[in-house]
Every structure is written in structure tokens, then in C-alpha cells.
């Protein structure tokens, strides 16, 4: 969470969070993406991976400018590979991993 908060400060963006009384899930993250007027997502790899497992959620991820994660690597296996097939690497340093999320036309 600290890495996500720092990203908002570094990039001069607003942070949109899900409800404080519920643990984060792919369904909640999807609703934030759907109604939050957001351009990227920063979160734990588990949530990103879970978002990739539902076609509707994955399509919403692919409309974002960036997908960022922190704490541990997002492995190229299973559903993660679906997102990476459409994403390009966007280096952001050692703390936060990131891939540009918009599908390329090439």
C-alpha cells in the first residue's frame, strides 16, 4: 500500500480506493475501474491476476494506461499471460512493477 500511495504523489494523481469495510477482491477492483473514472490500477499481484481470469475484467484492464503492482513479482503464468500478451513493458524502478495496459495495434 505504501508503494501505491507514493505513486500517487510522484505522478500527481488522485488515489481512488475501494470500500474500507471490505477486503479487496477482483470484483471490487473491477467496480472501481468501471465507475471510478480511473486511468490505471496499482495493487497487489493477486488482485491483478484475479482480474485477468474474468474476460469482462480483463477487457477493462486493457483500456487502462498502466497496470502497476508492488510487493512481489507478477508471474508470467496462467491468466497473467493473457494480460501480458497485449501489454508492453513500462519500467518504473525496483519497487513497483508495471506494464503498459493498452493493447497495441501492431
User: What are the pLDDT digits (tens) for 13-31?
Assistant: 777 778 889 988 999 999 9
Q: What is the mean pLDDT of residues 73-93?
A: 60
Domain ranges of the chain: 2-14+25-100
Residue 69's pLDDT band (cuts 50, 70, 90): confident
**Per-residue pLDDT, 25:** 93
Buried b (16+ CB within 10 A) or exposed e, 58-79: bebbeebebbbbbbeebeeeee
Global pTM? 0.70
Amino acid at each position: 500500500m505504501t508503494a501505491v500511495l507514493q505513486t500517487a504523489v510522484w505522478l500527481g494523481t488522485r488515489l481512488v480506493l475501494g470500500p474500507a469495510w471490505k477486503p479487496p477482491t477482483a470484483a471490487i477492483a473491477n467496480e472501481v475501474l468501471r465507475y471510478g473514472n480511473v486511468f490505471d490500477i496499482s495493487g497487489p499481484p493477486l488482485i491483478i491476476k484475479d482480474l485477468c481470469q474474468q474476460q469482462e475484467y480483463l477487457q477493462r484492464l486493457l483500456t487502462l494506461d498502466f497496470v502497476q503492482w508492488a510487493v512481489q513479482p507478477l508471474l508470467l503464468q496462467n491468466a497473467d499471460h493473457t494480460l501480458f500478451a497485449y501489454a508492453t513493458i513500462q519500467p518504473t524502478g525496483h519497487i513497483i512493477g508495471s506494464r503498459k495496459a493498452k493493447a497495441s495495434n501492431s
